[in-house]
Chains A and B, each alone.
Chain A
Amino acid sequence: MMAGAWLKKILPPVLAAGLLALSAGSVQSAPGDEEKGEAIYAKRCLQCHGEDGDGLGPAAERLNPPPRDFTFGLYKFKTTPFDEDLPNDGDLFRMVSDGMPGTAMPGWSDLLSEQDMWDVIAYIKIFAELEGAPETQLDTGAQVATSAESIAAGKTLFHADDRCSECHGAEGKGDAVKKLKNDNGERTWPRNLTKPWTFRASNDPKDIFTRISVGIPTTQMPSFADPKSKKKLSIEERWHVANYVASLAKTEKVVRPANTVIQAARVEGEIPASPNDPAWDKAPPSTFFMVPQIVGEERFFMAANDTISVRALFNGEKVAIHLEWDDRTKSIPGDDKAKSIADEELAEDAIAVQFPAVIPTGMEKPYFLMGDAAKPVNLWRWSSGTTEEPESIAILDAKGIDGQVTRDEQGGLAAKGSYKDGTWRVVMTRPLVTEAEDQDLQFEEGRFIPIAFFAWDGSNSEAGTRHAMTTWYWLLLKPSASARPIMAAIAVTLLLGAILIWWGRGARAQRREG
């Protein structure tokens, strides 16, 4: 099966190169047809962007970010200078063709032809009466190739005068405590620069350079090419910052869809109880996407958390789960600073790990969303605490989203959390086996144990059924190495060798006789 891996690596680029060669001659520049565009718009775009192009389609309230309002003719991801009103046609084409990651806007290039997309763009421009071509273009100078020096220079500029870190935070996780709004009065959050897959227009240094130079119109992301800005950067400086921002990508925490198993390694001695213990860095993280809880009542569409990284370790007595997730806000009810940045209701941040109450023997698992009547689950739920109460851990026995009972006794379950620079780290530790056998999952080495996660961002009005979630993944306590494989290998080798020798001798003897 692994033989396919290299083919898989080589074939797509070869095919892509072939397709590119085929399409290279057909780049289209003909103007779009507004009437044809209107028909396409009515079928493909109207549901989100609205009949009048005002972004008020039926789903507007459930989309984050909301659909673009075309009537102002302002575009967030344009490549013309900050003081130029018009975007380039290519900017509109790119958004239609490639879509915008992390939003509901898909790329349309597989359903619509190039001409179709130009037609739709011609129609969209009518909403704001956009006419003519931009008068000026962005001066990009000579791109500065990325290098350790350039990244270091960019890092200095990023932090100098709190230039970028004012909003994007010390480590670029968008965690600076500021309440941002767009021109429409809607809440916006500074980008977490360590998650490049959420960049609407890629984290290629060229794109980052453009954002720094142009700003993001209609949001509070300013232009750093604006001569009036106190934090203005030269072209070369902007390239350095772009290279630094591109370097922030946390590649070890990228979601790999094929990785569905958290492998817990066995350690000798004590398990690190502190979430910041360097021993945790040695355990490889498994990162999973989280999605808003849109399955059970009451549904929720605006969850703030989008990924969680999980590590696990165990020894002869205990198992420990290390959870790490980026959260722009440390939500501590009672804290004035936390309250100033939170939405209306401030609740505790919380995380829950879900296990079935017993390891399933067949394929059938409890319902992924907090179990069901026949197959209950254990929820280990950690809460960040308030100014009055410390952080806490609880075990819940759940038989569905509306059937949870919090236990009085924690049965040896303990947890410790830590927040730093936009990231929560929490370690939960529990004995492998407990006395409450009929209620608690009993861990066993070498068994695949279903595991799922729920997260609440208390500053984003998340509490109760309003949270982010995953579906089931697996936890495996890796069994210690045994001598069986090597013994079997030796036995097979000797046996086969003996058979071959016996066969060869017999055959040659027969031949001599014959």
Chain B
Amino acid sequence: MRIPKLLQAVLVLAGVYFGFIVVFDVILDAVIPSSLLVMYMFFVTAGVFMVFTYDEEGTRELVAPIKALVEDPSKRVWRNIVFVIVPLAAGAGTYVQMQPSFEAPLELRTIHPAPPSTAKIYGKRVNLLKLENPFRKLEKEDPEQFRELVEEGAAVYIENCQYCHGDKLDGNGPYAAGLNPTPLNFQDVGTIAQLQESYLFWRIATGGPGLPKEAAPWISSMPVWQNFLKEDEIWKTILFLYDYTGHSPRSWGHE
């Protein structure tokens, strides 16, 4: 049996709607904001409408059931039912929409704001475009010393960072649940694997208060590590972050 066009269109829209919910809310566990969902569904509806009304015959087929419902004398009962239910549903929808919301205001977060070209770190103006990890070259030149530096970085990490970012570097340390935003997960391919070492150095050294203007909503709990750690301790910790997770820092050379 052939599915009527109108039903097809409704099924496609319903499928997309629940698809969004399944993918975001259930699988990714990242609840999709309702305003965003409304916007997506608007575009999807417009797209579906364009496809289904591509030619005149399609358009006619699509609107035929609606036309029949409104005009056909034999469909009087159905018409009366629909004409009562639709306005009532719209009224109920309006009522629900206009209820004051007690949900927290949405705070869109820029996780990796673009770095400034220079930043003041340890009292010096540093060019972040040229800044490199002074120990990175030892990875090839002197693997033994490099290993020692990684281990020193590990000690700095365990003493200072694991409370939030976790023993496993997965952003799930013992204090993580008490912080908003939650600490970053370095195991994830979307964090340090996407960044240069100079970027990490800047973010670690200047912490939450060092976030640039566009890094809304500026509420990171990341401490300002230049107040607590020495410069070389930060660089060693960065070596450890990449070594432990198996990620490689991004560099200009490879791009």
CA distance A309 to B67 in the complex (A): 58
A471 touches B179 (CB 8 A): yes
CA distance A474 to B105 in the complex (A): 9
Contact of B228 among A47, A292, A299, A486 (CB under 8 A): A299
A8 touches B26 (CB 8 A): yes
CA distance A48 to B70 in the complex (A): 75
Residue interface mask A365-393, B partner, CB < 8 A = 1: 10111001000000000000000000000
Contact of A7 among B26, B67, B99, B103 (CB under 8 A): B26
Once A3-B18, A104-B174, A471-B221 are accepted as A-B contacts, the answer to whether A59 and B87 lie under 8 Å apart by CB is: no
A493 touches B71 (CB 8 A): no
In the complex, chain A residues whose CB is within 8 Å of the CB of B163: 62, 104, 291-292, 294, 301
Best-buried of B73, B88, B102, B244 by chain A (most CB within 10 Å): B102
Contact of B83 among A255, A446, A472, A501 (CB under 8 A): A501
Q: Is there a chain A Cβ closer than 8 Å to B46's Cβ? A: no
Q: Is there a chain A Cβ closer than 8 Å to B209's Cβ? A: yes
Contact of B221 among A102, A255, A368, A492 (CB under 8 A): A368
In the complex, chain A residues whose CB is within 8 Å of the CB of B173: 104
Best-buried of A105, A289, A493 by chain B (most CB within 10 Å): A493
Q: Is there a chain A Cβ closer than 8 Å to B177's Cβ? A: yes
Q: Is there a chain B Cβ closer than 8 Å to A24's Cβ? A: no
Q: Is there a chain B Cβ closer than 8 Å to A443's Cβ? A: no
B209 touches A292 (CB 8 A): no
User: Which residues of A443-492 are within 8 A (CB) of B?
Assistant: 446, 448, 470-474, 476, 478-479, 484-486, 488-490, 492
B22, chain A: closest CB distance, angstroms: 6
B34 touches A1 (CB 8 A): yes
In the complex, number of A-B residue pairs with CB atoms less than 8 Å apart: 172
B239, chain A: closest CB distance, angstroms: 14
B193, chain A: closest CB distance, angstroms: 16
CA distance A291 to B155 in the complex (A): 22
In the complex, chain B residues whose CB is within 8 Å of the CB of A111: 168
B155 touches A47 (CB 8 A): yes
Best-buried of B67, B90, B159, B227 by chain A (most CB within 10 Å): B159
Contact of B90 among A48, A364, A493, A504 (CB under 8 A): A493
Q: Is there a chain B Cβ closer than 8 Å to A267's Cβ? A: no
Q: Is there a chain B Cβ closer than 8 Å to A405's Cβ? A: no
Q: Is there a chain A Cβ closer than 8 Å to B117's Cβ? A: no
Q: Is there a chain B Cβ closer than 8 Å to A410's Cβ? A: no
A104 touches B100 (CB 8 A): no
A290, chain B: closest CB distance, angstroms: 6
B221 touches A295 (CB 8 A): yes
Q: Is there a chain B Cβ closer than 8 Å to A496's Cβ? A: yes
A392, chain B: closest CB distance, angstroms: 27
Q: Is there a chain B Cβ closer than 8 Å to A340's Cβ? A: no
In the complex, chain B residues whose CB is within 8 Å of the CB of A496: 86-87, 90-91
A257, chain B: closest CB distance, angstroms: 7
B177 touches A289 (CB 8 A): yes
Q: Is there a chain A Cβ closer than 8 Å to B43's Cβ? A: no
Contact of B21 among A7, A295, A365 (CB under 8 A): A7
Q: Is there a chain B Cβ closer than 8 Å to A500's Cβ? A: yes
A294 touches B104 (CB 8 A): no
User: Which residues of A78-105 are within 8 A (CB) of B?
Assistant: 102-105
Residue interface mask A25-47, B partner, CB < 8 A = 1: 00000000000000000011001
A10, chain B: closest CB distance, angstroms: 9
B5-13, B126-134, B211-219 - interface stretch: B211-219
B104, chain A: closest CB distance, angstroms: 5
Contact of A507 among B22, B70, B104, B209 (CB under 8 A): B70
A102 touches B174 (CB 8 A): yes
- Nearest residue, chain A, Cβ from B209: A367
In the complex, chain A residues whose CB is within 8 Å of the CB of B172: 106
B168 touches A106 (CB 8 A): yes
Q: Is there a chain B Cβ closer than 8 Å to A58's Cβ? A: yes
A17, chain B: closest CB distance, angstroms: 15
CA distance A479 to B173 in the complex (A): 38
B71, chain A: closest CB distance, angstroms: 5
In the complex, chain B residues whose CB is within 8 Å of the CB of A128: none
B216 touches A363 (CB 8 A): yes
Once A104-B163, A493-B87 are accepted as A-B contacts, the answer to whether A7 and B25 lie under 8 Å apart by CB is: yes
Q: Is there a chain A Cβ closer than 8 Å to B253's Cβ? A: no
CA distance A102 to B163 in the complex (A): 11
In the complex, chain A residues whose CB is within 8 Å of the CB of B25: 1, 4, 7-8
Best-buried of B24, B71, B92, B170 by chain A (most CB within 10 Å): B71
Q: Is there a chain B Cβ closer than 8 Å to A16's Cβ? A: no
Q: Is there a chain B Cβ closer than 8 Å to A189's Cβ? A: no
- Nearest residue, chain A, Cβ from B25: A4
In the complex, chain A residues whose CB is within 8 Å of the CB of B100: 446, 478-479
B159, chain A: closest CB distance, angstroms: 5
Q: Is there a chain B Cβ closer than 8 Å to A263's Cβ? A: yes
CA distance A485 to B173 in the complex (A): 45
In the complex, chain B residues whose CB is within 8 Å of the CB of A485: 94-95, 98-99
In the complex, chain A residues whose CB is within 8 Å of the CB of B168: 106, 108, 110-111
Q: Is there a chain B Cβ closer than 8 Å to A288's Cβ? A: yes
Given contacts A57-B155, A492-B94, A507-B67, 9 further A-B contacts (CB under 8 A): A8-B26, A104-B173, A110-B170, A292-B163, A295-B223, A363-B216, A448-B104, A496-B91, A500-B86
What 9 A-B pairs come out closest when comparing CB atoms?
A493-B91, A289-B178, A4-B25, A291-B178, A485-B98, A489-B95, A497-B87, A291-B175, A496-B87
**Residue ranges of A at the interface with B (Cβ–Cβ < 8 Å):** 1, 3-4, 7-8, 11, 43-44, 47-48, 57-59, 62, 102-106, 108, 110-111, 255, 257, 260-261, 263, 288-292, 294-297, 299, 301, 363-365, 367-369, 372, 446, 448, 470-474, 476, 478-479, 484-486, 488-490, 492-497, 500-501, 503-504, 507-508, 511
A-B contact pairs, 25 of them (CB 8 A): A1-B31, A1-B32, A1-B34, A4-B25, A8-B25, A47-B158, A47-B167, A59-B159, A105-B167, A106-B167, A261-B102, A291-B178, A294-B175, A297-B227, A363-B217, A365-B219, A448-B104, A448-B105, A476-B102, A478-B102, A485-B98, A486-B95, A488-B95, A492-B91, A497-B87
